[in-house]
Chain A
Amino acid sequence: MQGDLYSPSLQDHAVTKTKSYNISGLFLVAFFGGIIGVTVLGIRNAQWLRLEKKLIQLLVAISVILFICKTFVVYAISTGMLNIADSNVDNIVKAFGVLCFIFYYFMLKKPFKEHLAVGGNTEVLYKQGLLWVLISVVIEVILIQMMA
């Protein structure tokens, strides 16, 4: 590291300052949209904050695992393997989305604070948030219909 300290780190590509959404705002995306929306925007946010590649891969892995678990639970309910009322499927989808958000929140929290500490602003989330809620909902509905 000592040698690296005095070697250029920003010369290979166009370097910009870090960017971030207000990460707590991702909750609404998770709550209304579910895992897909929070994953897309969360990964984008992680890249903006320049999280290490292995941490981004970990976040993707968490999302994939949660998505598989959620799909299995929904499938189990719809086929009667789990004795839970069908009306609760929506709540379960939401719960998995929120769980996914919590993982992302804790992974992004410190880099987000560091971003603010060096004078960083937050990007507007409304449009992208709404877009990904809609996309997520459409995908979730299609998946649930396919399993029903």
Chain B
Amino acid sequence: MWREYSADYIKQNRSSGLSIVVAAFIAALFLSFLCSLFYNFWLDNVEGTKMETGDWHGRITGAFHAEDLELIEQFANVEKAVVNEELSGEQKTTVDVLFFNKRTVYRDMEAIRAWFKAAESDVTYNYQLLSLYFIRIPGDSMPRLLMPAYLAVVLIVCVSLILVIHNSFAVSMDSRVHQFGIFSSIGATPGQIRICLLQEAFLLCAAPIFVGLLAGIALSFGTMKAMGMLTAELVGGRQVNFYWHPAVFAGILFLSFLTVLISAWIPANRLSRLTPLEAIKGTAEMQLKKKKRSPILTMLFGVEGELAGNGLKARKKALRTTSLSLMLAFFGFMMMQCFFTLSGISTDYTYFKAYQDVWDVMTTVKDTKIEAFGLTAELKELPGADNTVLYQKAEALCRLPKDAESEELKNLGGVTVFGEEVADDEADFRKVKASVIILDDESFKEFCGQVGIAPRIDGAILLNRIWDSIHSNFRYPQYIPYVREDLDTVVLHRMAAAGEAGQVMDEKDSAKVPVLACTDMTPALREEYGKSDHDLVHFIPLSLWREISGKVGGAEPDCYIRALAGDRTSPEALCALEDEIIKIVGQTYEVESENRIQEKLDNDKMIAGYELVLGGFCVLLAIIGIAHVFSNTQGFLRQRKKEFARYMSIGLTPRGMWKIFCIEALVTVGRPMFLTLVLTIMAMAVMIKASNLNALEFIRVAPVLPILTFIFTVFGFVALAYFLGGRKLSKCELAKTLRGDSMSE
């Protein structure tokens, strides 16, 4: 009988179930998408770990022979035992063991160890891999962050979905309080009413949950494929596969049903606890509990504004899901748009625009000293390159006479004024941090020409500028000269040999370097000079570095090749140049390479990917809100028939009724929009301040158009929902309604 009642109700009130169906679909879609994605991330992590650490669970070292290997494989739980050639020597052999059941790895390895009478230290475990299977064994201190993080996110999402969609059920159930009062009066127990409502929720949601689940899996498949395409083009990227397992499907199905049934249980339980008297007396017509005023609406729209305000306040609880969903959707969308805009400005400043003219292809030659690099001549002859520079960076200390500081710096209070660690070693000298950029000789000579001096390779060119961080911020830096223009020599010291204040440094750790020029010009390299710790930047030719490197040291492990292409605008030309460099250098050295245009394209793709995922989430939230408005307005006939009949009986025209609906639609969208706009503006003001950006610069490129499009689209749908609900209401017979007869929906 209950099933018949529910089935009849669902058949006769399809529109009332719309928001529930949409909410269930979205819940299942979202959970399915998230869980599938996490499952894939987890397996990808397992695969990555296997590649990094090897595919083994336990490892035993000893004097093993071929027959011992067979013996190990005969242990019941052992899947495979293989000799690790890399770790094995003549005396000892290391055997990697894989088990069928990983949970007993510790017990089984102990048994193997005991059999071969090996020492405890001969057995090791792949803690990193085992931790991903949630296996903890003695001695394992690997943190297990991944799964708790996934579980926490899924839990938060489930709770959020319950909070959002339980109102959809509440609206449908509350509209039938009277009917359940009748059931109760003729003997239905609270439990029967609860079960009936949950059965109904199940009937309504089974299909959308199933479809949502499949759609979520399809969406996660698409996302993984998109990520695969993206990472395949990135440096160090590896193939991304899509994994699926029936157990995951069953888990998601269970989770989706649980989420939806808990959402249904909350209002069902509340409704079942009403006494029959409360339920029978209760009316679907929502009323104000106490007097409320809507001064702004009254002022703006007159009496219709006041009536609309009262109508919205009376249905405040029923519209809570709408408000919450729209608020989250607007906030998410606005923040996302503003954040990516701000981030774009910042990236342009610090990366793309800042380095637009100084590199096209950057190649990092791993673990190679510049003086040992032997392919400079070949690189200089590259056909597709306009200019190629080989360089390396080193850290040192520079011993400067105190009176070598520029007048501008002295006026500010000397280099110590910026709070950097500077030690005075003698009364008239101080040691400051020095960045050393070692250029290949040819490039150094070119830089000499750029600076306006005769090309030489027996001295350093100083970057004569220091960031005045007192009078400017990092976003808009102002520089002042660091040293006097006539400085002729500097002494560079080994960084590691830096002594205490007052200590004279050993000559074997220092080198006197002639200064060829002090300039505020820089060679075209993808480097940010002297901004982080107010260091004095030295450009040094490779020949000079060969002489002093033994004394100064401090070179970074890698050296770099910066190439400018002949055709700087064509992605194909840059890719060809990149391939050419890798072809020349990659045979001898380990290299990593970047390409300016590709980097920009990858960055754009990544942001577009983020926008797609986050934007999709915002759209889902907006759909929940809109579906809820539709559900509400489709119930107008039942909820507001009497309210409008009363208004019209005292002279409200149909035009007035439509005006009320327009105001309500406006407020339904306008209020969450306004609140989130204020919140977004406040959040962005904080972010703009934190990033030291000129607010006007952000305002000029503020994402007004996408935000307005989003808002107007949502408003369009809400207005449509009110139009359809209002049309139903306008067809209602006034006299019949006012008689207060018992009527079905």
Partners in one complex: no
Q: Please list the residues of chain A having a beta carbon within 8 angstroms of any beta carbon in chain B.
A: none
B positions within 8 Å CB-CB of A: none
